Structure formats: C-alpha cells, structure tokens
Amino acid sequence: MPMKLLKPRPHTLDAWQAVQALASRDISAQALMQDCLDRIAEREGAVQAFAHLDPATALAAARALDAGPWRGPLHGLPLGVKDLFDTADLPTGYGSPVYAGHRPAADAAAVALCREAGALLPGKTVTTEFAYFHPGPTHNPRQLGHTPGGSSSGSAAAVADNMLPLALGTQMAASIIRPAAFCGVFGFKPSLGRVPRAGVKSLSETLDTVGGFARSVRDLGLLGAVLLGDLRLLDEAAVQHAPAPRIGLCTTPDAAQMDSDTQAAWAQAVQALAPQAAQLADAAWPRAMPDLVALQKLVMAHEMARSLAHERCQHRAALSPRLNALFDEGLATSGAQHATHLAQTQAARQLADGWFDAQAQGYDLLLAPSTLGTAPAGLQATGDPLFCRGWTLLGLPCIHLPFTQGRDGLPLGLQIVGRWGEDHRLLAAAHWCWQRLRP
C-alpha cells in the first residue's frame, strides 16, 4: 500500500504558495494564522522575535477575512511589523522603554497599505533601540547564541524561523540587508522614497527606507508590489523570463574587510553567474566618489540627533550610552556642514547612475557583499553595517540573496544593487541570479 504523502504545515509555505492555497480554499486565513501562531508558541521562548503579540485579535481578523471578499495580493498572509511602525491596534515602543505602552492613533502608511491588500498582523517584531545599535532580546534562529543582526532583528528572525511568511523592516544603514544575511532570508530595500514613511518613527530624512523580508524572490514581489504600488513587481512572466543581465562586480573600496567565508561566497557566485550572464566584469569605482561610509555616518548622526530631539532633551537617562554618544557626534556637525554633506550625497547619487547608464558602464545590476561574514556570536551587538552604508546613502534598491553558508554553518549570501526607480527590474534580475546560485 503506497504511503500517503503528508501536506506541509501551512506555516512552512512561501507567501506565494499560501496565497494560492487561500485562493483555491485549500486552507483558510484562520487556519494559516493559527498554524503560524502555533509555530510562534513553539519557538518564541527561544527566539524572542516579538515585542508584542495579540493572537485573539489576529484570529478574529482572519475569520472576518474568510467571510468576506478577496482583498488583494497579501490576502490572508500573516505579516510581521517592526516595532518602529505605528499601529492603531497594537502598542508601538520603537525599541525603547521611553515609549512603553505607547498606543498610536493610526497605522503607518505602509501598514495600512498591507492591511488594505489583505495582510493580517499577529504582532510587532523586535527592533533595536530607535533602529540604532543597542540590541533587543532576539536570537538568531539558525544558532541561538548568535545575533540576528539589526535593526530589523525580530522581522528577519520570525521569517527565518517559519513563524511568518513576510515581515516589514526599515533600513538607515544596513537594517534590512544585514539581518536578512545573518538569518538566511531574502531582504528587499527598495529605492529611497518609493515607499511612504508616514507613521514610521523618523530618524533620518536622507536615509530612512521601508522594505521587508521573505523566503523567496517571488514573495518579495508580492510585498514589494503593495509597498511601492507598482504592479510590475507582480509580473510573473517578466520575472520568469528575464533576459540574462549585465552584471558589474563591485566589492567596494572596503573589499579587504570581507572575511574568508564571504570571499568564498563571492568566488562561488562569480563562477555560477559568469557562464550565462550577458556580461560580467569589474565595475569601476568612480574616482570622484566620496567616502560613502564616512559620509553616511555623518549624515545619520546629525539627522538622528535632530529627529530624536524630544527623546534627547527629555529622556537622556533612559537612552543607551551608544545612542547618547551618537547624539553628541551629530550635534558636533553644524547645519552648514550638514548642507555640504547633503550636496556631496546628491553628487554621489548622480555619479552612481553612471554604473547603469548605457552610455557609461551600462550594467543592469551590481553584485556586492552584504556583510563581512556570518552572524557574530553573542547578543551584545548586531554586527558591522559596513557593506550596506554606501548603498543606503545612494538610495539604490538592494536585494539580499542567501545561497550558501560559512564554516560555522550559518547562512551567507550577497546583495544585488540596481538603478534607482528600477526595483521591478532588480527583482527580475534577482530571480535570474537566484536560479543559478540556489543550493
């Protein structure tokens, strides 16, 4: 008698698979939510991905969704929301005791857009203190003694541990790409300014970017289409049949900081992509390009010190020493100096366009490191954001692709970087690359 194949538990489904199962009524939104909540109950004690959970409200919302019409691309999908986003029905603490029990009056725009598209919120995921370096309690689900990265720590960990299919994050330096890399999931930082930031705790007008996490490229398309309002990210034919891209290899001026694991991942990727890419060559770093890492640090410190003026002036004693030190650094930059830094940033963004200009180098994407190596041991820090600072300052869309592991068995991958505003093309290129990199 043949063995009966067991169906996978709903919480293990990719987002696009879950959407298909919901559309065909193979599962209900309530059943999917319940299974995700069961998984959270199994693992949350160890991983600690959530700042707040409300299972009863989430299940009630799922039942209501099952009784109504199809809502959109995220219909019935449990969604993790970083605790930097305002939510009308869940507390929002911004990773700080200063805002313990804080209840916003409205959802952040990105949260409202996801709800409109059918997403359901079981809770808020852990963020570092005001999305800076002071870590929360979250562990890396791949190895619990290691950092999950930050600042979107809980979102990356929840997706990696099959608690949720999708989660929202933000990036000011490396807060999406780095935790995606450390936890071994796909991370998407869209082009600067393409996702509304209303209702997200403002930290840096020049850098703050809303994005998210998923377990496949296709899932990033679902989430990205809703966040950007760009249906081209849902064009499955365009993604599946994307032409071979022209790839620029860009280890950045900090290439020497890659550890041996990242160097091995780089060599593996080049070997896999080179035979079929339309072009694969070293991308020349513009001679006039400023030191992007140093510039990003200056811009971030000054803007955080001003954006968090209330917290700095009224609650210094409740803030971490590292955040207070950043405020002091930021206040040491004058308004006139900051204006110069913004002008340098704008000039750098114009130079960066040359990588993608057909009259110049003409690449479709740049391949670049995501992190120095795998997730460091310990929970006292969230890892070095070195390889993401520059791309965030330039405002370019980035996608982390996990495809290998280091000698310690932890996940490892690389990021691809695209032209500003061409997020849909970067997504298609990500699929092309992933098909050749996947283990």
Contacts of 408 (CB under 8 A, 6+ apart): 143, 374
Residue type, 178: R
Q: Are 94 and 127 in contact (CB under 8 A)?
A: yes
Describe the strand order of the beta sheet including 50-53 as a list of residue ranges: 50-53, 123-125, 79-82, 166-171, 209-214, 186-189, 398-405, 411-417, 365-369, 246-249, 279-282
Q: Is 82 a catalytic residue?
A: yes
Q: Name residue, tokens 């009863």.
A: 56
Cβ atoms 266, 258 nearer than 8 A? yes
- Classify 16 as helix, strand or coil: helix
151 catalytically annotated:
yes
Given 96, 151, 153, 204, the catalytic residue: 151
Helix, strand, coil in percent for the chain, rounding step 5 = 45, 15, 45
Residue 36: half-sphere exposure toward Cβ, Cα within 13 Å: 36
Q: Quickly list DSSP for 188-217.
A: EE--TTSS--TTBPPS-TTT-EEEEEESSH
Catalytic residue among 175, 191, 204, 370: 175
- The token duo for 72 is 């959109």
CA angle 308, 320, 109 (to 5 degrees): 40
The single residue of 82, 124, 189, 297 carrying the catalytic annotation is 82
Spatial neighbors of 82 by CB under 8 A, at least 6 apart, are 124, 125, 127, 151, 152, 154, 155, 167, 168, 169, 170
Q: How far is CA 357 from CA 114, 252, 274, 351, 363, in A?
A: 34, 19, 21, 10, 7
Q: Which residues are designated catalytic? A: 82, 151, 175
